[in-house]
Homo-oligomer: A and B are copies of this chain.
């Protein structure tokens, strides 16, 4: 999706450790015009899927997902993070390991709010190693909910998130797929970008 890629090229910053900083427009400061365009894109992509709920995980997915939910005219549902296990008979719960923060945390969603009557569109800001997405897919599986698709703003393809969730066989629509980041030059290479001859050498 060109608007997002252009924004990443203009305002994204590459930091050491394969970090792509997009806090100026996506996950600390949020450009609402861009979010409306993103929501429209996914609406066109998934509008025939009879979506009943849009689902994400707190925190930085929420701003994006709530615009998508509004565009579909369905509720947003966000899974909550807990540092300790908080199992009740009222919640579906999974454990997720964060490679970024090197901690594991529990994520829960109310059994009242996600059921086998639901057809879900999952939305998140990043797909990196896929652990957060796998957690959301596990929650849907626990609830017996159908997953119609996944919308990701920025996929870091080199971290193999798709591979981590391939058993779920789910349709993933990423708006910007990053193939490589170079912290020294600041270069961000997207899938489909032409690589010049001298850069291959």
Interface residues of A in 43-85 (CB under 8 A from B): 53, 58-60, 62-63, 66-67, 69-70, 73, 75-78, 80-81, 83
Q: Does B113 lie within 8 Å of A23, measured CB to CB?
A: yes
- CB neighbours of A31 from chain B (8 A): 75
| Interface presence of A98 (CB below 8 A) | no
Q: Does B36 lie within 8 Å of A70, measured CB to CB?
A: yes
Q: Does B30 lie within 8 Å of A77, measured CB to CB?
A: yes
Q: Does B80 lie within 8 Å of A28, measured CB to CB?
A: yes
CA distance A81 to B101 in the complex (A): 13
Q: Does A70 lie within 8 Å of B112, measured CB to CB?
A: no
- CB neighbours of A76 from chain B (8 A): 29-30, 32, 63
- CB neighbours of A77 from chain B (8 A): 28-30
Interface residues of A in 83-113 (CB under 8 A from B): 83, 109-110, 112-113
- CB neighbours of A110 from chain B (8 A): 23, 28-29
Which one of B32, B36, B66 contacts A63 once the chains associate, using CB atoms below 8 Å? B66
| Interface presence of A35 (CB below 8 A) | yes
A99 to chain B minimum Cβ distance, whole angstroms, is 17
A173 to chain B minimum Cβ distance, whole angstroms, is 21
Given contact pairs A24-B112, A28-B110, A66-B66, enumerate 5 new A-B contacts (beta carbons under 8 Å).
A29-B110, A30-B66, A32-B70, A32-B73, A35-B66
